Amino acid sequence: MKKYLVKPGTEVDFSMWDPNDEGDFKGNKKKALAQVAKLDQKLGALQEILYAEHKHKVLIVLQGMDTAGKDGTIGHVFASINPQGVRVASFKVPTQVELDHDYLWRVHEVVPAAGEMVIFNRSHYEDVLVVRVHKLITPAVCKKRYDQINDFEQLLVQNGTTILKYFLYIDPDEQKERLQDRLEDPTKQWKFRVGDLAERKLWPEYMKAYEQALTHTSTAFAPWYVVPANHKWFRDLVISTTLVETLEKLNLKYPAPEESLEGVVIE
């Protein structure tokens, strides 16, 4: 999985990754899905211990262009997890109250507490992506925000949070196919927004904004992964693998009982 990790201090160029990548499972989707199923079970078990131990905090950031699969990732990768102790936070257009505060204010109040796993469906990175593409902030302000975001994430890490950030990488052709599917499928039309087509025209600008954001904010304490996401099953495999590997390194343990159970008899 190291090939998908953005090494801190490196200049990100998406041409280094292939959104159609299938890794070692090329042509063997069935084998990959079997591996994903095993990872699902491991992830469910690890999350249960995370919740019981009530010590560590886990933040998972999902970013990507429209239709990249953020909702699908949440539905598939985290399907085996007990909803208790897990939250999803979605970030829409800021409300007036949120705009009256600094841009990280609404983010800080939904970060994970002890024992929690929180998934950000979009995130604080919108404030160096959308606003940059639409020229709502200057390059100088954007640069300051990279530093502020790094400081913010470092604060979370220093207080016991493990952060994993995933950019779901699809290409324009795949997005076109998925948008067409939304347009034609009555069960998916509720997701379709005509405004998405205007954003699609800004694809090159968004890719540049993402490259810069990942370049400046992939750190040793809060790394980014570029996840090839044209194939949904491979997307799930990469995220599940890196998440399980990270949780295993936390050496999670069930806590001892609050009081001695010696001699306790249940009649």
- Dump the DSSP string for 114-165: TT-EEEEES-GGGGGTHHHHTTSS-HHHHHHHHHHHHHHHHHHHHTTEEEEE
CATH code: domain 2-249 is 3.40.50.300
Tens digits of per-residue pLDDT, 160-213? 999 999 999 999 999 999 999 999 999 999 999 898 899 999 999 999 999 999
pLDDT greater than 90 at residue 71: yes
Mean predicted lDDT score pLDDT of the chain: 95
CA 109 to chain centre: 18
Confidence band for 1, pLDDT divided at 50, 70 and 90: confident
Count of positions (residues) in the chain: 267
Q: pLDDT value at position 118?
A: 98
Q: List the domain boundaries for the chain.
A: 2-249
| pTM (2 d.p.) | 0.95
pLDDT band at 253 (very low <50, low <70, confident <90, very high): very high
Residue 262 has a pLDDT of 83
The pLDDT score that the predictor gives to residue 195 is 87
